[in-house]
Structure 1
């Protein structure tokens, strides 16, 4: 209340004070109405009784635009179909339409930080599904400070799944160590003797991948790492590294790369110099149509990758009910007319289903309620998930999806790899 002095120095309540009293009373009445509607908690920015607005900052231009575009398309496809059916039923009893705002960061951390600042100005409820470790890290501290969720982001960085250090974050995809370990276990279980060469991105992505692989083969006496090289995400060529690794005589190549053009050129360069090992490729750079076909991967004895999502390109899933609906939704609501070349389209569709699962149990229109619901999902088989994988957000240090299936390229798509070789 504003207090003003009268002409004789005696304090009096002026018109400002009267307005303040009236405002307090109005707010109290509004609060009572709000309590009846939303359990007594004031709604967070970006959510009303009828809508919730999510933001996605991801590369929509540049070298990683292919995967980045997919991160938007899958979420839009999932919620576009839900909105067309009337919306999503939330745990507070209300049904809301899900609106998506997208921002292009071109895989540039400075741009992603600026995008986050813009989306908070735009009033989004949460950021979700954005691609990239450096780009998601760029605004992580700001998101924590402002208590804005970074939900189901597409980075395998374990920091995003550490509940103490990242209370407002959660990753979607398996952490790098999980993927690397899956390859190491497959190789170790083969019982054979193999020489391994490693090329990795010089950041947490590459280091985590390599650490997971090495831990898994540590007890296998027949497995020996005979060469290691790194590259920078900004490099335009890895020819020198491929040539150096080829001289090691390795018959297995762990290629922990996240950049599509560099992965293709690595496949091509190795063939040009006559080096044809078996390859282990990360899930995000293993697309049959966008990477393996232009890289002429059929020349190698084996291309292995990991996955948790059904691939529409695979003949095994051509008539799968999940895949048929996904492709229809992608075309109608995701502004994506072709069969996706990158797995990120499927991942972000799974992200949409997981977000809906959290929405269905959040009892108040607040970010706190959302994060509590998001981190208490267990045993959820989202659409498009492979048998043997599931969403479990209850394990500290692990992302929403931590289980993967190792697959081998068969010239058209992937089939489950029962063993190495």
Structure 2
């Protein structure tokens, strides 16, 4: 799909989600190609007026990661759609603004993600919510040079949470190491002997999860890693790796995998091989509806993941936060069914966190926004699980760094205190 057709996809999606995507006029000096540094102090940055603020998203809306990618747009669009219907969001400068969103499809392709950013950067106040480590990395340097916020994006890459290295960036979801470490600690604390097989994506994503897991089990006499294999993000099958790992007889499978189709086929292949270990999946490929049910997750003694948000298909189904979220997702997010991926919940929480930052901005500038965003601490965003919160003040950590380990119960997840 060429650039123009991708733009059409984004506009059509945003229109369907009941948000305006018409261009916003700039206030103040418009020179500088999107950078805020050349403007007079306090002059409005691009993408914000006295009545509107415009956000951009580049994320996969088609291809193998379209399910999670679509959710990264739907949740935040639903959140601000509901706020717009109430008259908009109150900003710290005393003005109330409606929030406009334009989302463009990058198909999880870094080159297209950079092209999308170049298309949006001069017309949006900030970029947000987009999914993917390689796709977000593709335009990180440009965003720093242009002084465009890359705020609350969906990647666990620690690079985006270092204010010295990435002054205009902040990740939203926990870093990969935190997720891997949480499961490793649970497994090591079991006391029982376990043989672990590892299959990870051959990039920073997979390496981060494995690093966190190994750091937690290092020195644990009850844990033995019997085999460790990788796959490429471009692979369409990991059957050979599953066959080799199954031959080890490992009773635990640590699967640091980001691609939904491969996560499903891995579960299916293991069953074909009559290998049914306990299974760990990262939070972004652990969806009950999108991964575990089609993959036959109920056939395993336990499928574990980590979470920080309530899920509609779990114990929180009747929670008032969940009820409000699902109603808005249907009305304003053009997402009529309960979401199959947690990214819908995450991007709803991104919307709430952005609103917190907007409320602290005393000037309509990107500088003021980043300062306000990095000052958020102890914010219990709607849909957050007990024991987790948004804290953007920790250097080297994303907005959310705390997680809880959960176990698949056949429909959703239950929080667990011990490995079973």
What is the TM-score normalised by the length of structure 1? Answer: 0.90
Which residue of structure 2 aligns with residue 80 of structure 1?
A: 81
Q: Measure, in 2, the Cα distance between the counterparts of 1:391 and 1:41.
A: 28
Q: Measure, in 2, the Cα distance between the counterparts of 1:296 and 1:206.
A: 23
1:271 aligns with 2:297: no
Aligned-pair CA distance for 1:417: 1.1
Which residue of structure 2 aligns with residue 108 of structure 1?
A: 109
Moved over 2 A (4+): none
5+ long unaligned stretches in structure 2: 1-27, 30-39
Q: Measure, in 2, the Cα distance between the counterparts of 1:378 and 1:297.
A: 36
Aligned-pair CA distance for 1:219: 2.2
Which residue of structure 2 aligns with residue 148 of structure 1?
A: 148
Q: Measure, in 2, the Cα distance between the counterparts of 1:317 and 1:325.
A: 12
Q: Measure, in 2, the Cα distance between the counterparts of 1:127 and 1:209.
A: 26
Q: Measure, in 1, the Cα distance between the counterparts of 2:241 and 2:62.
A: 27
CA RMSD of aligned residues (A): 1.1
Which residue of structure 1 aligns with residue 199 of structure 2?
A: 199
Q: Secondary structure at the match of 2:174?
A: coil
Aligned-pair CA distance for 1:410: 0.7
Q: Measure, in 2, the Cα distance between the counterparts of 1:283 and 1:210.
A: 14
Per-residue CA deviation, residues 367-413 of structure 1 (Å, 9 max, x unaligned), is 00000000010000000000000000000000000000100001111
Q: Measure, in 2, the Cα distance between the counterparts of 1:132 and 1:352.
A: 18
1:36-55 pair list within 5 angstroms: 41-55=42-56
Q: Measure, in 2, the Cα distance between the counterparts of 1:419 and 1:120.
A: 46
Q: Measure, in 2, the Cα distance between the counterparts of 1:292 and 1:154.
A: 21
Which residue of structure 1 aligns with residue 311 of structure 2?
A: 311
Q: Measure, in 2, the Cα distance between the counterparts of 1:40 and 1:127.
A: 22
Q: Secondary structure at the match of 1:351?
A: helix
1:330 aligns with 2:323: no
Q: Measure, in 1, the Cα distance between the counterparts of 2:213 and 2:390.
A: 23
Q: Secondary structure at the match of 2:393?
A: coil
Q: Secondary structure at the match of 1:337?
A: coil
Aligned-pair CA distance for 1:40: 5.9
Aligned-pair CA distance for 1:249: 1.4
1:85-164 pair list within 5 angstroms: 85-121=86-122, 123-164=123-164
Which residue of structure 2 aligns with residue 245 of structure 1?
A: 245
5+ long unaligned stretches in structure 1: 1-26, 29-38
Q: Measure, in 2, the Cα distance between the counterparts of 1:219 and 1:49.
A: 58
Bigger Rg, which one = 1
1:211-230 pair list within 5 angstroms: 211-230=211-230
Per-residue CA deviation, residues 17-45 of structure 1 (Å, 9 max, x unaligned), is xxxxxxxxxx99xxxxxxxxxx9611000
1:367-406 pair list within 5 angstroms: 367-406=366-405
1:163-178 pair list within 5 angstroms: 163-178=163-178
Q: Measure, in 1, the Cα distance between the counterparts of 2:175 and 2:248.
A: 29
Per-residue CA deviation, residues 294-327 of structure 1 (Å, 9 max, x unaligned), is 111111000001000000011x112100000000
